[in-house]
Chains A and B, each alone.
Chain A
């Protein structure tokens, strides 16, 4: 098999369509992961055992089962419970939920890293607990974990092709269709690989630079 530029040129618009879907899934999945991760992180610090315990079990369960299994579970099982989403939405939910359990751990480390004096100052100013969390503790906690969060976004980007397996037309799915119809494989798969590296490598360099700037 040799490289055929005509095939590459024909596939390029398809690749870009797929890229948009890939980026969309990663972006939405990240937003979901950041939000849910925060919910878990706060719940795991709840003074109430009846909140901490079930959330702890759930988070461990999600973190320790494969993303692909979760993806298929949502895709095949949810509709049978009359919960119906598009394939893309299902993919976003699976990615977001799975990664939220890692993000929760990142937040936890960030929260632990905020000096206890910050809590004490907030108490001395008679601030309410919720307000202390949202304007004092979390802004400082999140700032110091931005690079770690960014690394999980990159990891999610690279896991995102799994959603092709439930029919989302991301980059991988575009390459698969191209192969199935034209029997050309080398160009589409190579181009998908290059697209990933063009995004994730600069992104990981950026995160490393951020880490250095935040002084880790």
Chain B
């Protein structure tokens, strides 16, 4: 079980998977992202760091289509996420197009957001069966494999509320992986956990980062973890990338004063 590749990533060759082009996001008068450009290459693990309120969550939520940008475009694997082309013109994406592109993206939330009315196994199989059209048997077999992978092989029959926060979060990771996303978005997935449960979740993610070719976009305050798994670290401040580079560089010799301040505050 679980020997099959977790993702059907067509390109591990570093081709561009995510592109933000002049993306501006406002909440009322509050411009949270201002003309943001950045790209993530396929297969890379990119960590977003920066002070609270700098717009990191907003970026992940834009990618998950939980928010819409006011301006700019977002592309995923060569397709517009926010827009679609109709008669040669770029128009806001309709539901059908959005669902097609969104297939490639999975997300794990700070608050887990498991479905409390479903057992663990059903939490994981619901979408593969009803969205991907997988047979129930296949979906269950894969779900059990994924549960083994996150160290919860015996919990398939439990309800989420019977699990600890750390266990719930690991189920949430399995649930996201069951959809075979090309990119996994992780928004402070250990922030809501009791300290002693953090390591278990981070271990699962470390394994995932080191053994699969899934692209990860990760917001975290766990700097050691970020250093371990990241190919690139993006330092955000006030909705802009003020500095980026490999973790060795960002953590050891940050160029920007704000980065130094931020790191000394969290390290």
Contact = CB atoms under 8 A, between A and B. Distances in A.
Partners in one complex: yes
Interface string B185-208: 000000000000000000000000
Nearest to B179: A125
B99 interface: yes
Interface string B103-145: 1011101010111111000000011001100000000000000
Contacts of A117: 109, 111, 113
Interface string B49-79: 0000000000000001110000000000000
Interface string B83-117: 00000000000000001001101110101011111
A126 B99 contact: yes
A145 to B, nearest CB: 14
Contact of B176 (A120, A124, A143): A124
A124 B175 CA distance: 10
Nearest to A142: B117
Q: By DSSP majority rule, is chain A's interface helix, strand, loop, or mixed?
A: helix
Q: Which of B105, B118, B126, B179 has the most A CB atoms < 10 Å from its CB?
A: B126
Contacts of A216: none
Interface string A110-140: 0000010110110111111001000110011
Contacts of A120: 64, 66, 109, 113
B113 A121 contact: yes
B113 A131 contact: no
Nearest to B118: A135
A127 B127 contact: yes
Q: Which of A124, A131, A139 has the most B CB atoms < 10 Å from its CB?
A: A124
Nearest to B95: A129
Contacts of B115: 118, 121, 135-136, 140
Nearest to A143: B117
3 A-B pairs with the lowest CB-CB distances in the bound complex, closest first: A121-B113, A125-B127, A117-B113
A84 B127 CA distance: 46
A122 to B, nearest CB: 8
Given A120-B66, A121-B109, A140 B131 contact: no
Interface in A87-117: 115, 117
Nearest to B115: A136
Nearest to A129: B95
A140 B113 contact: no
B66 A121 contact: no
A124 B117 contact: no
Interface of A: 115, 117-118, 120-121, 123-128, 131, 135-136, 139-140, 143
Nearest to B103: A126
Nearest to A135: B126
Q: Which of B114, B117, B131 has the most A CB atoms < 10 Å from its CB?
A: B117
A124 to B, nearest CB: 4
Contacts of A128: 99, 130-131
A186 B66 CA distance: 66
B64 A123 contact: yes
Contacts of A140: 115-117
Nearest to B178: A125
B117 A125 contact: no
A125 B175 contact: yes
Nearest to A139: B117
24 contacts: A115-B111, A115-B113, A117-B109, A117-B113, A118-B113, A120-B113, A121-B115, A123-B102, A124-B66, A125-B126, A125-B127, A125-B131, A125-B176, A126-B103, A126-B127, A126-B179, A127-B126, A127-B130, A128-B99, A128-B130, A135-B115, A136-B117, A140-B115, A140-B117
A140 B126 CA distance: 16
Nearest to B116: A140
B113 to A, nearest CB: 4
Contacts of B117: 136, 139-140, 143
A112 to B, nearest CB: 17
B161 to A, nearest CB: 12
A127 B125 CA distance: 12
Given A120-B66, A126-B102, A140-B115, 4 more contacts: A120-B64, A124-B176, A131-B130, A140-B117
A182 B171 CA distance: 71
A87 B113 CA distance: 49
A169 B67 CA distance: 58
